[in-house]
Structure 1
Amino acid sequence: MEKNHIFTGESVDEAVQVALAALNVAEESVDIKILQNEGPGFFGLGRTKAKIKVVHKMPSEETGWENMLQKYTAENTSSEERGEELQLNLDGKAWIKEGSLYFQDTAEQKPVLILPGGVTALKNGKPVEKKTILSQGDRLDFSLEKQARETSWSVKVDNQKQLVELRVTPGAYFVSTIEDAPPAANLYISTASQEIPLNQLTEKDIYEQLERMDIVEGICEEEIKAATRAERPASFIIAKGKLPVHGNNGKINFIIDIRQQSGNYKEKLDGTIDFRESIHIPTVNEGTVFASIIEPTPGEDGISVFGEVLKAKAGKPIQLAPGAGIEINEETNEVVAVSSGRPHVDQRGQSVRLSILPKLLHRGDLSLQDGNIHFIGDVEVHGSVHEQMMIEAAGDIWIHKNVDKASLQSSKSIIINANALNSKIVAGQSSAIYEEALKLLKQFLYNYPSFLKVFQQVTSSEAFQSSYNGKNGWGPLVKALQEKKFPEVKKSAEALTAYINAQKTLFEGKWKDFSDMIQYGLLTFHHKSPLAEDHFFEIERQAFQLHDVLESPSASSSRIALKYAAYSEMYCDGEVDILGKGAIHSHIYADGYVTIHQKFIGGKISAKKGMNIKEAGSPGGAKTLLQTDSTGVIKIEHAHPDVLLSVGGINHKIRMEEFYLTARLDSEGRMKISRNN
């Protein structure tokens, strides 16, 4: 059945265009029949409209199952689709098709056009308000609001003057179109907008900005071009500098392994521990080349994006002080042993002292009739060390039996096969001792530079030079400055020199020389011969030099090993092992790890790396403090009440008997205690 539609218009051509737009078809797909041409109305009044009938062309007849399917679907279509003659009612309506406005009005019905914001129109050449009535012959011209976004960009230099970052947010313009709308009496115009990137940044803009910022080095042309082509927000590194490569410090390269190596401890028949049999001690023969000096490298200068040269720090040379038994071949930078013995290395920062240590062997006990021992090498005592005796050694100390109310001080390790009772034992450069020296040195340096500045101002003034009697030296002036303005200089100088003298076996000769300089220049006011003015500046120079040495980490790693300790103090820059019954009411300070194989009752352990104790405290509640750094771990198999654990300054007190504790700090710095049976 044919599909018929009736349309009208001011002319036949207009009626055809209205029909094609309303049906959304091409002219060749329909048959058009003119029912009435346009012309004058009755009695010459008005005009009659043209009327046409539009009929969809039917497809060719199909056969077989296709014909059956066509018949079946036709039976299920609406009355309009079955071809009933129906006039599409467009009277008084307007519609949009492919961006163009169409409308059909009658004397009784006029379509209304409603404009949104951003859309303006001219009707017959005159601006249209928000709403307008459409009548036959009206001509509408639309104007859509045009919008655009400017490109934004910025250039930033990093703090190291190494990278220049360009951040770009491209601009855009927005193309608006009027959307199609079906016939309606009140036609609301709606628009669609499409964003099209528009990057207005040019290479010229960027280069001019770099010039304004004085950026001249490492400009990346490809990145600049890429930035001008960006269609979305992005960052570009448009210039790069070069960081300086600092030189490597000089160092000592050891050709042989000079480290002591420990094995399992062995207990002898008399109950003492044979520590020596568990330790390998390296030795060298006379004439052996056992090390070489590696010179520092100068480094390579860098450059900033502003063209500034960034100077590289040259590596620091090793400050090698050859000790006994050592010679240095200046041509080859080789270190040669001129005597047989054990190589000894004492290093802190870039200061290194090398020596070949001989060995002193004392047979039997060490008592008052033998006198104290001060030796530059290793010391071995076959018996015990008795009350009030002292051993000071630059090498290891090995005591075959007991140490009772005595003092042992070694630059290396101390091994006691039996017990230490009421004794002081110091091995290596324990931070507990050197931290006190650093504290006193800082107090001195806090006061002394101000004193030295005033001293220099006074001595360089003409009035002073004309009135001061130089034959008396600087003593009276120094004393007057201390009493009137700088009393803290004298106080801190006295404290520092007293500590150095009390620990003289633990400090090298330069410390003794420094102490003597302070004593002679700041604490002694009557001199046989006048001091040079430079003496006081040399005090400051050496003070800062020693300060830097103490601030540098020690390369030493000594150890203390013994069977049992009671009422004793131990200081060690490495590990402490107590393998027998343990220790009671003793204080142990170690930069490494502390291992107590049995009990630790009363006293204090401060071990930077941590500790492992079989039993801590006592049923009676003896005050026991176990302390480690924030990265250390405390392990206890059996803990009694009143044992105080301290990890990184966070404390926890044991309230009841507990077993298999592990204490450490978690990632948030809180004390974490785990209990594993």
Structure 2
Amino acid sequence: MEPSITIKADTIEEATQTALSILQATVDQVRIEVLHSPKKNFLGIVKQQAEVSVTKLGNLTATPLSTESSTNISPNQQSVAVQESAVSIDEITSTPLSKASAEPMSSSIEKAIPTDMEDLVDFFLAEENSDVFATYDEAPTPQDTNVSTQITEDMPFGAWVENQVLYIHEDEKKYPVIAPGKNVTLKVNGLKVTDRIAVSKTDRIGIDYQDEVTPSEFSIQLMAQNTRAVLFVRPGKIVHRTLQDQPVANFIQLEVDETVEFFNDLKLDDVYEKVQQLGIKQGIDYHAIEQAMVLKEPGEVVIAEGISPIQGKDGELDWLVEEVIETEKDDTEKVDFREANKIVNVEEGEIIASKIPATPGKPGKDLFGEPIFPKEVQEIIIKTGKNTTLKHDRVVAVAPGRPSIEWRGRLVKIDIIKEYLHQGDVGIDSGHIQFQGDVRVLGNVNDSMNVTASGRVNVKGTVTRGNIQAGQSMYIGDNVFSSTLSVGRENFVISELVMLLREILGYTDNMQVALHQLLVVRGLQPTELTSRELNHLLRLLFEKKYTNFRDIVMRFVNKVRMHISVLSEEWTNLADSLYESFIVVSSNPLESMAAYEALNDDIRATYESHRIPPEPKAFLTVPYAINSTLYCSGNINVTGHGVYHSVLKAGNDVSVQGVCRGGEIRAGRNVTLDEVGSEVGVKTVISVPADGIIRIDYAHPNTNILIGNRQHSFASGASRIIAKLNADGNLELH
């Protein structure tokens, strides 16, 4: 059998050159067939490799396919003389061309195909679809397998393969049928066959199956900010093929057995050249490259490493005050730890917290010798509030009370909150309670009474037709009837004030630039501008250019005054300054350009310190509520019998133990309920945003759930429900 291999490579020239090297032959000693041409996409990237079949030619002689010549197959069996690669070049050229070429194939090929390698590749690229190659493909190929065409009377009918020899035995009534299998090329009488075909002893049958060689490959990838180079190695392989033995049958499909042999013929110089092309200079591991050259299985090896940067550490706040858990007890002295409040009290002069400075990182170096800088570290910004001061990066209490901490990004605000303790009921005798701090009521809150606190509110008894507002959290020990409870509304007010401040700051920045330009035109220094001239220029700017400015300032001032009970002095002081400087200028005008710039800095500082929303730590806890409105910017927890005909709105989660009958629940994240609705079909609505989840143990009919813009109404009762949107945005019930 003639040596023949199939090679894949990026170009036809490369594949041909590899095949010639393996066969140790020259161009004029082989037959070359282009199976596939290389293809590239519009970016020039190889999409399909070139594939060529190269067969080394030997001294071939034609043996007539005659029934007269015979040889002994076994002592008791006669057969046709076994032919190995028995179709010669003379036989090919004597076959008529299917595309009506008047010239013999051999002369056509001899005239068309050059012998120089570069010219040969160009020829294949230009002529791969020409008539010459089409007719050449259709001509019989040399047989790569012994085919016996003579029979004896005692041979069975059919077709079979034994020791890589194909036997065919026909009779007067029927013919055997054969078909090519995978990686087998079958030609009968010069025509390529791809499906079943009936054959006889007079047919010229060519069976071609070739070894396939895939060359070794490697690639280098840069990773981890160019601090690591990884060599990926894929060893080459040779697929050796032999024709499978087949038992006697009316039909057989010619199949091949395959064995795979791996090899690694990568060269160190090629890898070193690629490393140099990539510009890698640092940390090359030559020993690792040498190890990769002997891999017989696909693998990866780190061949170069730079120096990764060492990341720094952001600044932190070291909280030095120990928290004490205070619990509420009922008459049986049983403690419900879900109702526990964290109570912290400090004395004046006590250090509450200390600032831990940020630690800068250290730069690294990539494989090209360039520095890699770590992420910039961020310091925390401590803003002291009521009854606190900052001394040597330590927060110190200047009055006794409860420390309050509020985070807004990297800014932390610390206050000392005082507590007002009310011994009895809040009623007509006591009047309304309004306090900048915490409020603790040991009795009830009666009809039409208000309790307002900037910190926490704790009511031991019931609340009946009352109105209670807390800035941070609220705990009600007994039931709530026809009342309004609100926690954390300050955060929503502040978010609206921040939006107004952003507009005001835009105006004041532009006016500051305009004032400096006017001073330059008049040839004055900022210190030479009098109070009267400054306010006259401002009035002109209000009238001629910034006509909306004073309206926006007035909206800001009114909103602060409307919510003065829940806002800190920072907001009221700024509102007063803006009102006196820009609304009633004659009463307290700005004295100088420096005063204007200082006011503008105050506006900016307030905006920057509040533009990031605080962490949602607020909570509202009640045991039972009926005909009431519960609002909290954080979580709402109902821990007793449930809620009836009430509206619950939470910025985060809502959790209700017991029954939820009638009314509405809206949560910013998730809702968890025991029982919803009633047997008589009272309408109850539960809604969360698109990324929220609703969990219900049992839902009665006429319960409606909304997730994002998707909704579902329960027509009958359902248990153990988990409702959420899937990846396609459709509502799923589990």
Which range, TM-score by smaller chain? 0.5 to 0.7
Q: Which amino acid aligns with 2:308?
A: K
Which whole-Å CA distance do the structure 2 matches of 1:591 and 1:320 have between them?
A: 26
Matched residue SS, 1:366: coil
Which whole-Å CA distance do the structure 1 matches of 2:532 and 2:319 have between them?
A: 52
1:573 corresponds, among 611, 622, 634, to 634
Q: Does 1:540 align with 2:604?
A: yes
- Answer whether contact 1:600 1:613 (CA < 8 A) is retained: no
Residue 652 of structure 1 corresponds to 711
CA RMSD of aligned residues (A): 5.4
- Answer whether contact 1:610 1:629 (CA < 8 A) is retained: no
1:560 corresponds, among 599, 608, 621, to 621
Q: Which amino acid aligns with 2:732?
A: K
Deviation, 1:353, is 1.4
Deviation, 1:196, is 6.1
Which whole-Å CA distance do the structure 1 matches of 2:568 and 2:355 have between them?
A: 24
Deviation, 1:298, is 0.8
- Answer whether contact 1:476 1:525 (CA < 8 A) is retained: no
Residue 582 of structure 1 corresponds to 643
- Answer whether contact 1:241 1:304 (CA < 8 A) is retained: yes
Q: Does 1:612 align with 2:677?
A: no
2:421 corresponds, among 337, 346, 360, to 360
The 1:230/1:670 distance shift into structure 2, 3 A limit, reads same
- Answer whether contact 1:171 1:197 (CA < 8 A) is retained: yes
Residue 454 of structure 1 corresponds to 510
- Answer whether contact 1:379 1:393 (CA < 8 A) is retained: no
Which whole-Å CA distance do the structure 2 matches of 1:620 and 1:113 have between them?
A: 94
1:247 corresponds, among 296, 313, 329, to 313
Residue 199 of structure 1 corresponds to 266
Q: Which amino acid aligns with 1:471?
A: S
- Answer whether contact 1:602 1:617 (CA < 8 A) is retained: no
1:308 corresponds, among 371, 374, 379, to 371
Q: Which amino acid aligns with 1:545?
A: S
Residue 208 of structure 1 corresponds to 276
The 1:231/1:534 distance shift into structure 2, 3 A limit, reads farther
Correspondence 1:113-512 to 2 at 5 A: 156-158=221-223, 160-166=225-231, 197-200=264-267, 202=269, 204-211=272-279, 215-226=280-291, 236-237=301-302, 238-254=304-320, 256-258=322-324, 279=340, 282=343, 284=345, 286=347, 292-293=353-354, 295-305=356-366, 306=368, 307-317=370-380, 319=382, 321=384, 323-324=386-387, 330=392, 339=400, 342-349=402-409, 350-355=411-416, 357-367=418-428, 370-380=431-441, 382-387=443-448, 389-398=450-459, 400-415=461-476, 417-423=478-484, 425-427=485-487, 429=488, 434-435=491-492, 437-438=494-495, 441-442=498-499, 444-445=501-502, 447=503, 450-452=506-508, 454-462=510-518, 465-466=521-522, 470-472=530-532, 493-512=553-572
- Answer whether contact 2:454 2:566 (CA < 8 A) is retained: no
Q: Does 1:672 align with 2:732?
A: yes
The 1:206/1:518 distance shift into structure 2, 3 A limit, reads farther
- Answer whether contact 1:588 1:605 (CA < 8 A) is retained: yes
- Answer whether contact 1:169 1:232 (CA < 8 A) is retained: yes
Matched residue SS, 1:256: coil
Matched residue SS, 1:414: strand
Matched residue SS, 2:596: coil
Residue by residue, what CA displacement relative to the aligned partner does 1:84-108 show, whole Å, maximum 9, x if unpaired? 9x9x999xx9978xxxx9x9xxxxx
Which whole-Å CA distance do the structure 2 matches of 1:578 and 1:514 have between them?
A: 41
Q: Which amino acid aligns with 1:593?
A: V
Structure 2 unaligned residues grouped into runs of 5+: 1-71, 94-104, 116-135, 141-211, 244-257
Deviation, 1:397, is 3.1
Residue 63 of structure 1 corresponds to none
Deviation, 1:547, is 0.7
Which whole-Å CA distance do the structure 2 matches of 1:439 and 1:392 have between them?
A: 20
Q: Flag the structure with larger Rg.
A: 1
The 1:393/1:456 distance shift into structure 2, 3 A limit, reads closer
**Identity over aligned pairs, percent:** 9
- Answer whether contact 2:326 2:340 (CA < 8 A) is retained: yes
Which whole-Å CA distance do the structure 1 matches of 2:606 and 2:346 have between them?
A: 36
- Answer whether contact 2:235 2:262 (CA < 8 A) is retained: no
The 1:207/1:471 distance shift into structure 2, 3 A limit, reads same
Which whole-Å CA distance do the structure 1 matches of 2:696 and 2:560 have between them?
A: 36
TM-score by length of 2: 0.57
Residue by residue, what CA displacement relative to the aligned partner does 1:35-82 show, whole Å, maximum 9, x if unpaired? xxxxxxxxxxxxxxxxxxxxxxxxxxxxxxxxxxxxxxxxxxx89749
Which whole-Å CA distance do the structure 1 matches of 2:327 and 2:442 have between them?
A: 21
Matched residue SS, 1:588: strand
The 1:588/1:149 distance shift into structure 2, 3 A limit, reads closer
Matched residue SS, 1:597: strand
Matched residue SS, 1:300: coil
Residue by residue, what CA displacement relative to the aligned partner does 1:318-349 show, whole Å, maximum 9, x if unpaired? 6263654x788859x5867974x655444444
Deviation, 1:280, is 5.5
Q: Which amino acid aligns with 1:205?
A: E
Matched residue SS, 1:413: strand
Which whole-Å CA distance do the structure 2 matches of 1:589 and 1:111 have between them?
A: 90
Q: Which amino acid aligns with 1:426?
A: S
Number of aligned residues:
527
Deviation, 1:577, is 1.8
Q: Which amino acid aligns with 2:375?
A: A
Deviation, 1:635, is 1.7
Matched residue SS, 1:396: strand
- Answer whether contact 2:677 2:684 (CA < 8 A) is retained: no
Correspondence 1:85-100 to 2 at 5 A: none
Which whole-Å CA distance do the structure 2 matches of 1:639 and 1:653 have between them?
A: 13
- Answer whether contact 1:247 1:312 (CA < 8 A) is retained: no
TM-score by length of 1: 0.61
- Answer whether contact 1:598 1:615 (CA < 8 A) is retained: yes
Residue by residue, what CA displacement relative to the aligned partner does 1:163-185 show, whole Å, maximum 9, x if unpaired? 4455566789x999xx9xxxxxx
Deviation, 1:252, is 3.1
- Answer whether contact 1:440 1:492 (CA < 8 A) is retained: no
Matched residue SS, 1:382: coil
Matched residue SS, 2:695: strand
Which whole-Å CA distance do the structure 1 matches of 2:568 and 2:281 have between them?
A: 53
Residue by residue, what CA displacement relative to the aligned partner does 1:370-417 show, whole Å, maximum 9, x if unpaired? 354224233325242442634224233325333425343243323253
Which whole-Å CA distance do the structure 1 matches of 2:293 and 2:541 have between them?
A: 70
Which whole-Å CA distance do the structure 2 matches of 1:111 and 1:283 have between them?
A: 102
Matched residue SS, 1:535: helix
Which whole-Å CA distance do the structure 2 matches of 1:588 and 1:149 have between them?
A: 67
Which whole-Å CA distance do the structure 1 matches of 2:494 and 2:417 have between them?
A: 28
Residue by residue, what CA displacement relative to the aligned partner does 1:469-517 show, whole Å, maximum 9, x if unpaired? 7534655655665666556655655555544443344444434444445
